Structure 1
């Protein structure tokens, strides 16, 4: 696979996951609006090492805060060649959070993580609830805190999203998830 076809595939697969799973199952009630408005930036980073990924994250942070939210509200940094191991990715996220703080962006940008092998503590690897955070590739979501604040005002019971998502996935089951054709299957 060429580099350009890898990048195209990663973006295409992530868009399909966003549309079918995240928006289609309403796992994030805030995603549909920004997606429809074209305010979600998909950045594919072909790096394999943590240092290069940190550099890409720094660039995406800079680009996001340098643009008006009406143009780019959020960024998905997609990593098709890095962090195959979930625990390694999870450990890397601590470095990513430090970068946000070092850049003076704590309180401005929040990070969320998604991974093909995401696993909540205390769950079995094949527990369907893990799929609320499973994506086709390791992905770092850069979210504006102001957008979160607006969304929470519009959806005052935001803390219930987590439980609702788990119920949704339990009802859907492994066969339902596999039918979405959005990435890793149970």
Structure 2
């Protein structure tokens, strides 16, 4: 997170919550879809109940589950159903990251895929009100995607790999709150 997302400013909203240690890192031991759903439900409940000044956002990290991107992409439909069943649509949303992330209109090694790649499958739980507030304070939110593409194109695949952020290793813990 520190080297790519914050270091390259891929998400202009990430640095503030990272520096304030308002990111909850939930490293799941789940191996099955049902176990991931249990962890997701628990983390959604924790985030909703938490004071945003303490926990603004959660990264649910899945080092042992949903390793295949097609399975992960299919699972995202269950994430949306879970939000709806929990009554959290409009309150929370979930962004997704995966080591093999590939946009439908992109080639496998297209640099654009790297905006959503991570060392492990990750579900990023976000408060919609906080996201809306951050977007209101950004000078031009419609430019974020174009700026990310310009940054990644300038960096190139070789530069991305040199960051050392795309190979699985130890789950993150350098800043923020480490859990589970």
Q: Same-fold call, TM > 0.5? A: yes
Sort the Cα spacing of 1:158 and 1:89 in 2 relative to 1 into closer, same or farther, 3 A: same
Partner of 1:132: 115
Given that residues 43 and 75 in structure 1 are in contact (C-alpha distance below 8 angstroms), is that contact kept between their aligned partners in structure 2?
A: yes
Which aligned pairs between 1:77-92 and structure 2 lie closer than 5 A? 77-92=60-75
SS in 2 for 1:97: helix
Partner secondary structure for residue 165 of structure 2: coil
CA distance in 1, matches of 2:84, 2:138: 27
List alignment gaps of at least 5 residues for structure 2.
169-180
Report the secondary structure of 1:119's partner residue.
Answer: coil
Question: For the Cα contact (< 8 Å) 1:134–1:184, is it kept in 2?
Answer: no
Which SS does the other structure have where 1:89 is aligned?
helix
Which ranges of structure 1 fall in alignment gaps of 5 or more residues? 1-17
Give 1:19 shift.
0.2
Match of 1:24 in 2: 7
Matched, 1:71 2:39: no
Give the match for residue 126 of structure 2. Answer: 143
Looking at structure 2, the residues matched to 110 and 166 of structure 1 have their Cα atoms a distance apart, in angstroms, of 23
Determine helix, strand or coil for the equivalent of 1:178: helix
Match of 2:80 among 97, 106, 110: 97
Residue from 102, 109, 115 that aligns with 1:119? 102
Q: 1:166 aligns with which of 121, 132, 149?
A: 149
Higher relative contact order (CA 8 A, sep 6+): 2
* Equivalent of 2:17 in 13, 20, 34: 34
Q: Which residue is 1:183 aligned to? A: 166
The Cα shift of 1:184 comes to 4.1
Q: Secondary structure at the match of 1:137?
A: coil
Runs of 4+ in 1 over 2 A off after TM superposition: none
- Alignment partners' CA distance in 2, 1:23 and 1:114: 15
TM-score normalised to structure 2 length: 0.91
User: What is the CA distance between 1:159 and its match in structure 2?
Assistant: 2.4
Measured on the aligned residues, the alpha-carbon RMSD in Å equals: 1.2
1:129 to partner: Cα distance: 1.1
Higher helix share: 1
CA distance in 1: counterparts of 2:27 and 2:51, whole angstroms: 21
Give the corresponding residue for 2:171: none
